[in-house]
Amino acid sequence: MSVIGVLTAGGDCPGLNAVIRGIVARAEERDGEVLGIKNGWEGLMQGQTVSLDRDAVRGILTRGGTILGTSRMDPYVHGDGYASCERTIKANGIDSLIVIGGDGTLRSALKLSEEGLPVIGVPKTIDNDICGTDMTFGFDTAVGIATEAIDRLATTAESHNRVIVVEVMGRTKGWIATYAGIAGGADAIIVPEFEYDIDDIVDTLRQRHRKGIKYSIVVVAEGVKPPPGYEPAEHKKDAFGFDRLGGVGYLVAAAIEDRTGFEARVSVLGHVQRGGTPSAFDRVLATRLGVAASDRAIDGESGVMVALRSMKIESVPLSEAVDSIRGVPEELFRTASTFFG
C-alpha cells in the first residue's frame, strides 16, 4: 500500500481543504493511505502528523483555511533540507509527498525531489503568479471578494464625492488588482509589473471631475512602489524574511489628495481576501488538482506539479513552475487601462 504524505505551506488560500479532500478520496479509491502533516514544513521537520481517511475529510470542501495548518518555515531556510525531514518520512513509511504551496514552497519541493524524495507539487496562491499553470485556486475567490468590495466602495465614494483607494494583495504581481479592477470598473489600477506616474493618475481623476463625475476608485496592489517623495514605514519581516506588506494605498491616497485637494480615503482589504469559503470555480479546480496529485503520487511520478492548462489538468516539471514569477501580461493590462477615467 502506498503512503502519501500531504502538507500545506506558506500563506493559506481558499480551496486548500478541497485539495486535501480530493487527495484523500482518490487515494482511498486506489487503496492508498494518506498521512496529513501539520503546520507545513515545520510539521515534517518535527514529526507532527495526523492520519487522514475519507471520514476525516467529510464536510471540509466548503471550508476556508487548511485543516492541516500552515507555517512559513522551510527545510532549506530553517533546516538542512531532506536531512531535516528524513526522520518523519522514515518513521511513517511515507512513499511520496504532496506539497501544496506557492512559489517558495514549490522551490523547496523541487529541491527535495532532487535529493531523492518522490514529490508532487500543487500550485496554491490567491496571487495567481505561479508559472506553468493557467490559474491557481484561490485566485477566483479573492477576485470575487475584492470585486464585491470595489462595488460597495464605489457607491459610498459617489455619495460623498471622494476618491477611494482600494489596496489589494499582490506582493510582486498585480493579478488581483487587474482582475478585480476590470470587474469593478476601476478608474485607475496600479500594479508592480508596470511603472506608473502619479501625475498621470491625477490627470485622469481631474478629467473625471471636469466632466462632473466627482468620485473615483483607484485599485492598488500592495507591492507597488510608493509615489516619489512619499516614504513607506519600515515593514516588519515574516519568518521567510519577506516584508510584511500593507499600507502603500495610504501613500497613493496622500499623493492624490495633496495634488488635487480631492478627499481621498483608503480601504486595505488584506487577509479578508484569503479567508472564508472558496468560490464554486475554486472548489472544482482544487478538487481536480487534489485527485490528480493523488493519482500522480500513487503512479510514482516525482518532480512535477499538477496544473490547469487549457482547461485540462496536466503534469508540469516543478523546475518550470519555479522558473520565474508570472506577471500580468501587457495585453490584459491594456484592456484594463482602456476603461481608466
- What is the C-alpha to C-alpha distance for residues 55 and 333, in angstroms, rounded to an integer? 45
- Residue 126 binds to ligand F6P (criterion: CB under 6 A): yes
Site string for ligand F6P, 51-90 (x = CB under 6 A): ----------------------------------------
- Please select the residue that binds ligand F6P; options are 211, 244, 261, 311, rule is CB under 6 A: 244
Active site positions, annotated: 127
| Smallest separation (angstroms) from ligand F6P to the CB of 168 | 9
Which of 179, 186, 167 is CA-nearest to residue 279? 179
Among 127, 187, 193, 295, contact with ligand F6P (rule: CB under 6 A): 127
> How many alpha carbons lie under 13 Å from residue 143 in its C-beta half-sphere?
24
Binding to ligand F6P, residues 164-223 (CB under 6 A) = 169-171, 222
Q: Which of 341, 313, 280, 331 lies closest to 14 in space, CA to CA? A: 280
Q: For ligand F6P, which stretch binds (CB under 6 A), given 87-95, 125-133, 144-152, 247-255?
A: 125-133
d(CA 173, CA 324): 12
d(CA 150, CA 180): 8
Which residue among 5, 11, 123, 184 contacts ligand F6P (CB under 6 A)? Answer: 11
Selected binder of ligand F6P within 80, 238, 299, 330 (CB under 6 A)? 238
* β-strand pairing of 216-221 with 163-168: parallel
- In three-state secondary structure terms, 140 is helix
Minimum CB distance to ligand F6P, residue 142 (Å):
8
CB closest to ligand F6P, residue no:
11
- Part in contact with ligand F6P (CB under 6 A); list of ranges 79-87, 88-96, 120-128, 284-292: 120-128
**H/E run at residue 139:** helix 139-160
Counting beta carbons within 10 angstroms of the beta carbon of residue 21, is it exposed (0 to 12), middle (13 to 18) or buried (19 or more)? buried
Three-point CA angle 332, 334, 340, nearest 5°: 120
CB of 301 to ligand F6P, least distance (A): 26
**Binders of ligand F6P in range 264-323 (CB under 6 A):** 274
Query: How far apart are the C-alpha atoms of 117 and 123, rounded to whole Å?
Result: 18
Q: Which residues of this protein are in contact with ligand F6P, per CB under 6 A?
A: 11, 102, 125-127, 169-171, 222, 238, 244-245, 274
